[in-house]
Amino acid sequence: MTNILHVDGVDPLETGTVAYSIDNGIAWVSFNRPDKRNCMSPRLNRQMMRVLDELEFRDDVGVLVLSGEGTAWSAGMDLKEYFRETEAQGLQGTRAAQRESYGWWRRLRWYQKPTIAMVNGWCFGGGYGPLFACDLAFAAEEAQFGLSEINWGILPGGGAAKVAVELTGFRNAMYHALMGENIDGKTAAQWGFVNEALPLDQLKARVTDVANVLLKKNPVALKATKDAIRRVREMSYDNAEDYLIRAQEAANSFDNEGRKEGIKQFIDDKSYKPGLGAYDKSKQGA
């Protein structure tokens, strides 16, 4: 069942911009402005932060999937409500709108649970922020990705230029940003924007399978691992080596038994092989 997170004193027009449901450990969150191709307005940005807050530490949520209602994943920033109407309020309005959008993308980048972008359709400009914020990404082959900013006269801001060079090669990123041509899901996979592209009618099943694999893993190790992969990107080898030692030792203070159980089930019990799958978490502490 799809839910809207109602908040006392907040206009239903705002709370309705994001929908979610929780099913067997997976939180399915969706941009919910299909009539506006799920472009991100200040209202949507505020509501998305509330929904992320609501779901992050719940015991019944192990993985979060971000998708879009209707034909779009997200058509980027709302040119009317995010740009024109906030600019009309002066610099203060612009900065407030930036804080709200960049804020939930940053929150998502460092989310407690693993996150998956399920890109069902259009993904433009500002949409690259949440795309990169998600740990994994799967797209419909039919989806269209574009840095459309050049087509309406600005540079790919809001982190979009950075996301492009982080995810793909220099020549691809430059062509994409300068030409304003879209690529489909298959090309997005070849370029590294997403892990895989599949026909739209197979997308949800594949994402569910991936989420179910993640749900079997040790949650402390998942959080430590996803943060490590993001952090070491910008470190020298020696700094990364040091960071990883300390990150593992910090993770041990949250869960020192999981890895011992993982070793025991392999070496002593011979009940699984780490090279072929995860240990049985349910036996931990038994």
Question: What is residue 63's three-state secondary structure?
Answer: strand
Choose which of 122, 132, 138, 279 interacts with ligand COA (CB under 6 A).
122
Interstrand relation of 183-184 and 144-146 (parallel, antiparallel or unpaired): antiparallel
Cβ-contact 75, 36 below 8 angstroms: yes
* Minimum CB distance to ligand COA smaller for 80 or for 95: 80
Which range, of 34-42, 48-56, 87-95, 184-192, touches ligand COA by CB under 6 A? 34-42
Q: Which residue has the tokens 């349910």?
A: 282
* Region class of 184: left (phi > 0), else alpha (psi between -120 and 50), else beta: beta
Asked whether position 198 contacts ligand COA by CB under 6 A, the answer is no
Distance of CA 143 to the CA centre of its chain: 17
Q: Does 37 bind ligand COA (CB under 6 A)?
A: yes
CA 115 – CA 105 distance, rounded (Å)? 12
Answer for which of 18, 36, 67, 129 binds ligand COA (CB under 6 A) is 36
Q: Is residue 77 part of the contact set for ligand COA (CB under 6 A)? A: yes
What are the tokens at 94?
Answer: 């612009």
Q: Tell me the helix, strand and coil percentages in the chain, rounded to 5.
A: 50, 15, 30
Cβ proximity to ligand COA: between 138 and 145 the closer is: 145
Tell which one of 125, 129, 130, 262 touches ligand COA (CB under 6 A).
Answer: 125
Binding string, 136-165, against ligand COA, x = CB under 6 A? ------------xx--x-------------
Residues at the interface with ligand COA (CB under 6 A): 36-37, 39, 71, 75-80, 122, 124-126, 148-149, 152
